Amino acid sequence: MDETIRGVIFDIDGVLEYQGVVFPGAIETVQALRQKGLALRFLTNSTLKNRQTCAAKLNRKGFRVDPSEVFTASYIAAVYLRGLNPRSCWVMLEAEGLEEFKDIPQDEENPEYLVVGDNRSRFDFQTLNKALRCLRRGSKLIGLLSELVDSSLGELELNVGSWVGMLERASGVPAVYTGKPAAFAFELALKSIGLEACQVLMVGDRVSSDIQGAQACGMKTALLRTGEFQPGDLEGAVQPDYLFDSISEILEIFPPG
C-alpha cells in the first residue's frame, strides 16, 4: 500500500481559527496544500452550522472552501439518521444546523429518534423533561457529539455531550454519538475523498476527538498546539504522528515543488 499522504482533513475550531480569529498562515497553508493537488476536507463538531453556512463563513474570512468539502456535526448526524430510514425524529438543535434534517419527518411528541445537538436556548427544565419522557416511552437517542465542554466561543460552556449524558443517565437509554471522535464522522469524510485511510492526514487540536478518532480509523494525524490543546493531553497513550506549534508547519510534511 502506497502510504503517501494525498488528502488532508482539517478540524476548523482551534486549527484554522480560534474564538472567531483566523490563525496567521492558515489561509495560505490551506491554499498551498490545494495547489499541491491534495484533496481537502473540513470536519467540525459544530452543530449550529450546516455545510453551506459553514463554508460561507470560512469563505468570508478568506478561505476558499466548497460546501461539499465541509462536514459539520449536524450534516453528519443527518446522514446517519437518513441511513436508519427513520419514521420520525425530534431534532433538539437550533440555528442553520437544523436545516440538514428538514427532509426527515419531525415529531416532538412521539419521535422514533431523539437527536440532540446544541439547542442552547431550549435546554430548559420543561424541554429536557419532555425529552426524558420520550426516551422512557421508547425513543432512541442520538447525540451529535460526546464532548462535555467547549471554549471555542470564549467562555467555558457546557457542550452537547453534557446534555446527552444527563438524558442517558436519567432515562437508561444509551446514546449513539455521530460526531468526532465517532468513526462514522471520519469515515464519511474519508469516503468522500476516495482514498485509503493511511493516505489521509487529520489535522486537529484535540487529542481526545481529532487524533484518537482519526487514528482508530487508520489515518495519519497531526496535532497542533493551538486552540483547545493542553500540554496534559499528551500524557495519555494516544500520540499523534506529527506535533506542530502552528498550522503553517504542516507544509514541512510535504516535499516542496
Count of positions on this chain that bind Mg ion (CB under 5 A): 4
Taking CB positions, which residue lies at the least distance from Mg ion?
A: 14
On whether the CB atoms of residues 203 and 13 are closer than 8 A, the answer is: no
Closest CB to Mg ion among residues 14, 161 = 14
Binding residue for Mg ion (CB under 5 A) from 7, 13, 26, 181? 13
Site for Mg ion in 198-217 (CB under 5 A): 205
| Shortest Å distance, C-beta 160 to Mg ion | 14
Kindly tell me which of 143 and 227 has the beta carbon lying closer to Mg ion: 227
User: Binding to Mg ion by residue 7, rule CB under 5 A?
Assistant: no
Residue 117 interacts with Mg ion (CB under 5 A)?
A: no
Task: Pick the closer one to Mg ion by CB: 44 or 50.
Answer: 44
Residue 14 interacting with Mg ion (CB under 5 A): yes
For position 17 contacting Mg ion by CB under 5 A, the verdict is no
Stretch that binds Mg ion, among 11-19, 142-150, 176-184, 188-196 (CB under 5 A): 11-19
- Cα separation, 96 vs 118, in Å, equals 11
Residue 237 Cα distances to 106, 209, 231, 233, 234, angstroms: 42, 14, 14, 10, 8
What are the cell numbers at 94? 437550533
Separation between Cα atoms, residue 156 and residue 36, nearest integer Å: 38
Q: Is 179 in the site for Mg ion (CB under 5 A)?
A: no
Residues forming contacts to Mg ion in the complex (CB under 5 A) are 11, 13-14, 205
